[in-house]
Amino acid sequence: MQNPVLIIATSVAEGSIVACDLKTGAALKSFKGNGSPQNGLCTLGHDYIAAAQTSKHALNFWTWNREQILQRSYVSEAILALTASPDGKYLAGGSSSGTLYLWEVASGRLLRTWAAHYKAATALLFVGGASLLLSGGEDTSVFTWLLPDLLDPSLDPASPAFARPAPLHAWFDHTLPVTALAAGAGEAAAVVASASLDRTVKLRRMADGMLLRSVALPAAVHALALDAGERYLYAAGNDGAVYEVPLLGDPAVSTSGSASNGATNGTAAAAQGNGADGGAYRTLLGHTRPVTSLALASLGPSSSSGGGGGAGGPRGYTSDVLVSGSQDGSVRVWDLGSRQPIQIISAPGKAAVSSILVVPYPWQTLQTGSRSLTGTASEAAAGPSTSSSSGGGKAGPQRLQPLAPLSKFAGTAGSLKRWEGAPVIVTGSETFTGLTSCGGPAGAGGRHGHLLRAGAQLGLPAGFAATGQQLLLTGDGGSWSSGAAATEGAWEAALRGDSFPLLG
């Protein structure tokens, strides 16, 4: 089993993004042509890396098997924050004017653009299964947007019934610009955290928007990480420290405000203290300049903290390492049992780190080529055969998730005709729903009928997408066949290869 991959990005113009082995720190891949801002880096599903560019009004895309930019899409203004839905179908961007943009990745269509903040939008986050979008800005506000509302056709500015999107929740309790957002597991039941330059972190309940807790810290906060169990909150400080705040009460944290360990050698130390709100926290020391990004990850059962113990007590059900990136040009991997760094990785050219991501080793994408990240075909061939959003299984090379050039303006059809929907990869490895069918009574022409939409779940045969030729499938009563005329009550779908547009 391969270790997770750490992605490091810097804000240097025409710099690079580096992918490293999280456990060993070995460089695996370098992607050229990047200069992204803080919160301006994300992944699209399993197949692509996307980054906003500080020096130009553009978004750059890379795939794992290619170091050069795969696609560059120009936008109407500078994008400062970027996030993608977990399945990679939607991409959201926040601009310097406070306008938010929502694209459909497969078609490139700009689905919605709306003025969400009256100052720059600095943080974006999809929550849970992408039904909720959080946004924070320099105007100190945090909003929650329902994705179904954003996709409502009546919100089209060209529609006579046009109305601006209304947020589900609106919070205005920060006093300085919002810098980071984080959320726990779930959607409506999730706990949402927002950080600000006002040195506070606000925790709220998504269901009703209630403020659960306000944590005051000694320094402005630039990034947040919240473990899946919602037991610990990690905040990246402007003073170079990382603050660990127990959310459920931790007896191992002293409330006396005295430090148990000081920074003795300038490399790492753990300290304890009290916030201005009376809450206790631990401090991870080691960075010499502001910390800009955080990520939680697991190195598997071999990690020293995986079985519990250490200063934090049993932690087997939480992530066992914390990764922090800083403007000092380093990335530190902290063991959460001992709260000491187990790996220190230098950013490209020791430039200031703007963003980091931790992702699973991308087996699915690497199966599209003959080389792995480390350059050996045998390693890619030995990887697990789990499926991804682009397909999976043991059938061999996979098709990449559809990626079209992003539209610069709303209302354009992107790379498709106006009546076409976004391309979808169908491999037969998953149950598929919502095929547009053309069937009905067999008449003189044999196949003439009105358009219908199949509502039942259809299990497609696993090998149908491998031919690359046009394939006509007809079904009657749940059975599948290919060939001649459709019988009465049957439905049929013409598929070309394994990527096709769904009619609306």
pLDDT tens digits, 427-458: 555 555 554 444 444 333 333 333 333 333 33
**Considering the domain boundaries, does residue 139 fall inside one?**
yes
The answer to whether the predicted template modeling score (pTM) of the entire model surpasses 0.85 is no
**Stronger pLDDT, 251 or 68, i.e. the higher one:** 68
pLDDT at 381: 37
Length of the chain counted residue by residue? 504
Tell me: do 449 and 361 sit in the same domain. Answer: no
Tell me: do 64 and 186 sit in the same domain. Answer: yes
Tokens describing residue 274:
């009290």
Tell me: do 197 and 266 sit in the same domain. Answer: yes
Summarize pLDDT for 365-419 with one digit per residue, the tens.
555 444 455 544 334 334 443 334 444 444 445 677 889 899 888 766 666 666 5
List the CATH number of the domain containing 24. Answer: 2.130.10.10
**Considering the domain boundaries, does residue 371 fall inside one?**
no
Give the pLDDT mean for 56-69: 92
pLDDT at 453: 32
Residue that terminates a domain, selected from 337, 366, 395: 366
Q: Nearest to residue 239, comparing CAs of 284, 174, 270?
A: 284
pLDDT at 364: 60
**Considering the domain boundaries, does residue 39 fall inside one?**
yes
Q: How many angstroms separate the first and last alpha carbons of the chain? A: 41
Q: How many CB atoms lie within 10 A of CB 375?
A: 10
Name the most confidently modeled range: 258-267, 287-296, 431-440.
287-296
Tokens describing residue 393:
């299984």
pLDDT at 272: 63
**Considering the domain boundaries, does residue 385 fall inside one?**
no
pLDDT at 198: 96
Tell me: do 362 and 446 sit in the same domain. Answer: no
Residue 349 has phi, psi (to 5 degrees) of 65, 15
Tell me: do 152 and 17 sit in the same domain. Answer: yes
Residue 474 has pLDDT above 80, yes or no: no
Give the pLDDT mean for 186-199: 90
Residue that terminates a domain, selected from 340, 366, 392: 366
Residue that terminates a domain, selected from 346, 366, 386: 366
Tell me: do 312 and 210 sit in the same domain. Answer: yes
Residue 502 has pLDDT above 90, yes or no: no
**Stronger pLDDT, 333 or 271, i.e. the higher one:** 333
- What mean pLDDT is reported for the chain? 74
**Considering the domain boundaries, does residue 391 fall inside one?**
no
Please answer whether residues 7 and 356 qualify as being in contact, where contact means their C-beta atoms are separated by less than 8 angstroms. yes
Tell me: do 446 and 345 sit in the same domain. Answer: no
Domain count, the chain: 2
**Stronger pLDDT, 10 or 498, i.e. the higher one:** 10
In this predicted structure, which of 56-60, 166-170, 317-321, 470-474 has the lowest mean pLDDT?
A: 470-474
What band does 224 get if pLDDT is binned at 50, 70 and 90? Answer: very high
Give the pLDDT mean for 456-485: 36
Summarize pLDDT for 85-143 with one digit per residue, the tens.
988 999 999 999 999 999 999 989 898 999 999 999 999 999 977 789 999 999 999 99
Please report where in the chains the tokens 């943009």 appear, as a residue. Answer: 101
Q: Which domain holds residue 113?
A: 5-366
**Considering the domain boundaries, does residue 264 fall inside one?**
yes
Q: Nearest to residue 46, comparing CAs of 94, 134, 92, 105?
A: 105
Tell me: do 272 and 148 sit in the same domain. Answer: yes
Which secondary structure element, helix H or strand E, spans residue 148, and what is its range? helix 147-150
pLDDT at 121: 97
Query: What's the maximum distance between 2 C-alpha atoms anywhere in the chain?
Result: 88
**Considering the domain boundaries, does residue 348 fall inside one?**
yes
Query: Which of helix, strand or coil describes residue 437?
Result: strand
pLDDT at 294: 97
Tell me: do 362 and 430 sit in the same domain. Answer: no
Give the pLDDT mean for 60-70: 92
What band does 164 get if pLDDT is binned at 50, 70 and 90? Answer: confident
pLDDT at 273: 62
**Considering the domain boundaries, does residue 473 fall inside one?**
yes
Tell me: do 21 and 130 sit in the same domain. Answer: yes
Give the pLDDT mean for 247-270: 48
Tell me: do 288 and 144 sit in the same domain. Answer: yes
Residue 197 has pLDDT above 60, yes or no: yes
pLDDT at 210: 93
Residue 254 has pLDDT above 80, yes or no: no
Tell me: do 356 and 465 sit in the same domain. Answer: no
